[in-house]
Amino acid sequence: MKAGAASVPVPLEAKAEAPLRASAVAIEAGERLCIVATDTLTIPSDVLQAAAERIVVETGILSENLLICATHTHHAPCTIDIFGCVRDAGFCAGLGDAIVEAAVQACRALDEPEAEAEFCFCESQEATVGQNSRYLLRDGTIAWYSYRWEDVVRPTGPFDPDLPVLALKRPSGEMVATLFNHTVHNIGSLTQGAISPGFSGLAAQELERRHGGVAVFLPGAFGSTHNTSPFGTRERDLGVSTEECVHRIVGAVEQGLGRAEPVSTPSLAVLKRPFTYRLRSFDEEKEEAAVRYWAYTYEPESNMPGIFRDMRAAMAPVQGQERQTWLQLIRLGDVALVGVPGEIFAALGMEIRRRSPFRNTYVVGLANDTLGYIGDRDSYELGGYQLWAGGHSVSEPGTGETLVEEALGMLRELHDDAGAR
């Protein structure tokens, strides 16, 4: 196996508490693979597509062997026109260039004389910084923001605490790259209001300072989980601080690095397939009532009803139409990564993991596209902010279950192919 890695800062007009980066890891084991993660909320589809095309031309890597995802930090300049935010065109242009440059540098390192690397793996865990944040409240609604902690009845779904650690090292022991994955929203800056890579991005940069190489955070099935138990409540001091989140994530990754074992057969295989889904249809009166009730009850001064009304007006003419995106699977030995195009709920991610033929299977969210939140059918019935009709939630109920079944079919195909070889 050969490996290379690089990180490139995205140019910023304002000062950030830590760089926002595009970080890339390239691997060669029979064929070449490149994974790129960016410290942004999302990657706009036009920016992602243009960057991917440039990477293919400049590196020769196959397009199906390229995975590009965002880490979903809420503290970067805006990349999408949604919720009253205006896309930062300059930042997005610099983001595209940084994605390309990071991938080119990482792939170029594969051709260096000393590119040989060993792949090590361990499943660590961090169960204390996150929890399913879709709480049932006493009024029968699903929590989002500004509710009282005393009104919470229970979480309405699971939380996946597992934290896989994938390490690539030179024969000398020098670290090339550390990849880690966790299913929690990457929200939290050290300084309130500061531009930041979020607590997982801050943890990645601390890991680099301690262990060398490039550290890359890959977001998991985080759509229904947040990084503090009472996220969004008025009693915000009950939450785990950003500093503590960084400390705990770094500790969990370091435990994994300490126990990581070499993968005896670090073979590589990739599948990337189109995934067809439908844009959701919705009942305008029902959606309007749900948003208005929340705003009246929890934030009477907010313009949330108007914001969602505008989003639904844009969605109304295309209800029920088919669209196409991507599912991508990567196998490294007996470790399988499932790239999905959105913020899928933990229940769906855990279903993929539970039924996968590979012992070690993990979801990578916001991979190669974004459909916003992708919930399970039960969660659509419960409702709540994540699944109100809007630009942040565009796919119809059942999309998540279909995605799970298609991903499992691809996993079985990879597994059978590996067995045949």
- Distance, CA of 379 to CA of 401 (rounded, Å): 12
pLDDT tens, residue by residue, 162-202: 999 999 999 999 999 999 999 999 999 999 889 999 999 99
Mean pLDDT on 40-53: 97
Confidence label for 265 from pLDDT (cuts 50, 70 and 90): confident
pLDDT tens, residue by residue, 350-362: 999 999 999 999 9
- Distance, CA of 163 to CA of 121 (rounded, Å): 11
* One-letter identity of residue 343: E
Mean pLDDT on 236-253: 89
Helices H, strands E: what count in the chain?
Answer: 9, 19
Kindly calculate the radius of gyration of the chain based on its CA atoms and give it in whole angstroms. 21
Task: Please give the pLDDT value at position 177.
Answer: 98
pLDDT tens, residue by residue, 108-164: 999 999 999 999 999 999 999 999 999 999 999 999 888 998 999 999 999 999 999
Distances (CA, A) of 326 to 339, 340, 341, 344: 8, 7, 7, 14
Q: Where are the domains of the chain?
A: 2-276+321-420, 282-318
Task: Please give the pLDDT value at position 275.
Answer: 98
214's CB contacts (< 8 A; 6+ apart) are 5, 6, 7, 23, 24, 25, 176, 177, 178, 208
- SS3 call for 70: strand
Mean pLDDT on 338-348: 98
